[in-house]
Amino acid sequence: MRYLFILILLCLGIYCIKHVFFKPPTPPNTAPQFALPDPVAFKLKIFKGNEPENVEVYLLHANRWRMERVQLDTPGTHVTVFDGSRFVSTDSDVTDTVGPAPMLQTAMSSLNTMKPVSSGLQDGHQCWLYKVPMGMAGTTWDLWIDQDTNLPVFASGLTSGVYTEEHFQFLKSDFNVLEKTCFDSSATPVPMLTPFLTF
């Protein structure tokens, strides 16, 4: 009888160790939980085909946004500002006043009806991997979402037939100070975020 009792305790201990201490992460349910914060600041490293690496820093608040961009081995910093009605940019290639927020918000919101296909370590973060449709027929991107913050860490897929990688780093910013000047479109914008524009 004593051995049976010891055996039961041993089995119970093994069960607890396996299911409590080594419990695999549970995928998030489908309840709405993914959304882009507002305001938000993030850094983006972009690798696209054979083009030089780009680093961009975005400040987003409601429909206002600011983007500063540098390209590897290319001098100068391009700055684009949209204050909600007026648009100004030092980069003639940037003409879209909508900015990145709607597309990123749409991608984030779509996760609320999806389940991750796997999990793993990406850019030093424990992440969920989602396959996200990107608007074009048959085009999906891999989107890695941090399991702790529910924010994107890494995205990869085809852009106009060219393979692209994007690495996200969300930044802590004091918008009470920044918003007084960072969304000002009354003059040609000058760089404000140079310390973040590193490769």
Joined together, the tokens standing for residue 117 give: 């296909």
List per-residue pLDDT tens for the chain, 199 residues long.
544 334 344 444 444 444 444 445 555 554 548 999 999 999 999 999 999 999 999 999 999 999 999 999 999 999 999 999 999 999 998 998 999 999 889 889 999 999 999 999 999 999 999 999 876 667 889 999 999 999 999 999 998 889 999 999 999 867 777 878 999 999 999 999 999 999 9
* Radius of gyration (C-alpha) of the chain in whole angstroms: 22
Q: 194 φ, ψ to 5°?
A: -50, -40
Q: Give whole-number Cα distances, 94 to 34, 62, 69, 163, in Å.
A: 28, 20, 11, 21
Q: What is the pLDDT of residue 65?
A: 96
Instruction: Measure the CA–CA gap between 8 and 27, rounded to whole angstroms.
Output: 32
Asked if residues 15 and 147 have their Cβ atoms less than 8 Å apart, the reply is no
Q: What is the pLDDT of residue 107?
A: 87
Q: What is the pLDDT of residue 79?
A: 97
Joined together, the tokens standing for residue 143 give: 């989107």
Taking the whole predicted model, whether its pTM rises above 0.85 is answered as no
- Residues in contact with 100: Cβ distance below 8 Å, sequence separation at least 6, in sequence order: 58, 60, 65, 67
The tally of CA atoms less than 13 A away on the side-chain side of residue 48 is 13
Three-state secondary structure readout of the chain: CHHHHHHHHHHHHHHHHHHHHCCCCCCCCCCCCCCCCCCEEEEEEEEECCCCCEEEEEEEECCEEEEEEEECCEEEEEEEEECCCCEEECCCCCCCCCCCHHHHHHHHHHHHHCCCCEEEEECCEEEEEEEEECCCCCCEEEEEEECCCCCEEEEEEEECCEEEEEEEEEECCCHHHHCCCCCCCCCCCCCCCHHHCCC
Q: What is the pLDDT of residue 25?
A: 56
Q: Per CATH, the architecture of 40-196 is what?
A: Clam (2.50)
